[in-house]
Amino acid sequence: MISLNSALRASVIISSLIYANLYSPVTTAQTDAPFAPVIAAEYLPKNIIYLIGDGMGPAYTTAYRYYSDDPNTKRVDKTIFDQLLVGMSSTYPDDDTYVTDSAASATALATSYKTYNGAISVDHQGGPFPTLLEMAKAQGKVTAVVVTSQINHATPASFLAHNESRRNYNQIADSYLSNLIQKRPIADLMLGGGTQYFVRDDRDLTAEFEEYGYQYVDKLSDLNSLERLPALGLFAAKGLPAALESKDPHRLASMTRKSLALLSNQDSPFVMMIEASQIDWCGHSNDIACAMNEMDDFAKTLSLAKRYVDNHPDTLLVATADHSTGGLTLGRDGTYQWRGQLLHQVHSLPRTIAKLIVESPEVLNDFASFSAFLHPHIGITIKENTLDGLRRKLNSRLSTHKPQQEISDDLKQVIDKLTYTGWTTGGHDAIDVPVYAYGKGALYFRGHQDNTEIAATLIQMVKSERYKSK
């Protein structure tokens, strides 16, 4: 006799394949779909805000709690991450490594299917998996992607495209105008970076988007000039400037605020994916000051999304990470301490400081010159003998093959020692990541889930006929 769970699982698989055949522009990959619960009607959200902190493992949210804490109070303040935490998620790819890259994990979060590292929403044979935003578009919903990377980077691409390699940036960008649903591009709103891939000598994709009726801006300062959908905003050649050195350190929150205003003016329900892309980039660089500033932008964005849900209770907020990056540890060398508050005194990225030193090596000539140069960038108190030792070390780097990189690494290590921060890798790790949920349907994300199950539940919600738009 067939069990109820088996019957439900079969129903989910069959309906997913039928739906894919109806709406995917190419033949769909065949594989086992994860089980997703049947969503009770009263918990079906009208709108979905899906947030991803790229590389944001649990050490990052813990570090942010202590970094952002008010040192004048004894009790450690809870962050927005603490308030919305509902569970954890596994992130392994479709192989035996257990350590995913951003493409495989984003594919899982966008489609509910596992794949190989590097793949953009395709299986091992190159067959496409239908994505959450493709399904939302087919349902007549308004769709949006907001990121701090280029909009054709691994995570946003996995919601909008299908490609055998995340590195095919131009192909992926081109596909945003060929992978169509109902003769329209998948996303009604795209904000982020990537002009070098969209405005090329061989093709100007922005002009082609304008032919589809998209309003286009290429300066973040012009963000508020966007008055309608569809719209496209590309604010950097690749990724946006890092939060630590940006004119708008909360640029993801700013883009999210504008996006929600534009989406709220539409009659149709919306599905929106937001990515704090550069937490991961800071982790790869083992740059803790960089990471905490990106986390602060993401925290502001998450708080903004929560307020939107408070004012629109028919909306669901789901947030998670695609993986953890860097093997971050709070505490190092056997010392029971972490001094993350000192990071507020770091005002420039180590790579920027290194570039200035290479361009003006005379700042290393003597202790007074170096101290005067460094203090505006790193205001942390450093013992004179330690600081002078650093000066001599950096001076020796000037004659090396890659002086700028080595000086940057030396500066990061100094900051790590002062704050007792540790790292185990310049890549990703296999640590489970946190899951956050709030609003209509949030209870379906409690406990431990695989990343495919998060997507499968969201897909069930999106495919519901309740909020289908004509």
Q: Are 252 and 301 in contact (CB under 8 A)?
A: yes
According to DSSP, the residues that pair with 122 across neighbouring strands are 128
The single-letter code of the amino acid at 446 is R
- Judged on CB neighbours under 10 Å (0-12, 13-18, 19+), 21 is exposed
371 catalytically annotated: no
Hey, what are 388's tokens?
């002078």
Hey, what are 69's tokens?
């804490």
Q: Exactly one of 16, 24, 89, 102 is catalytic; name it.
A: 102
- Which residues are designated catalytic? 102
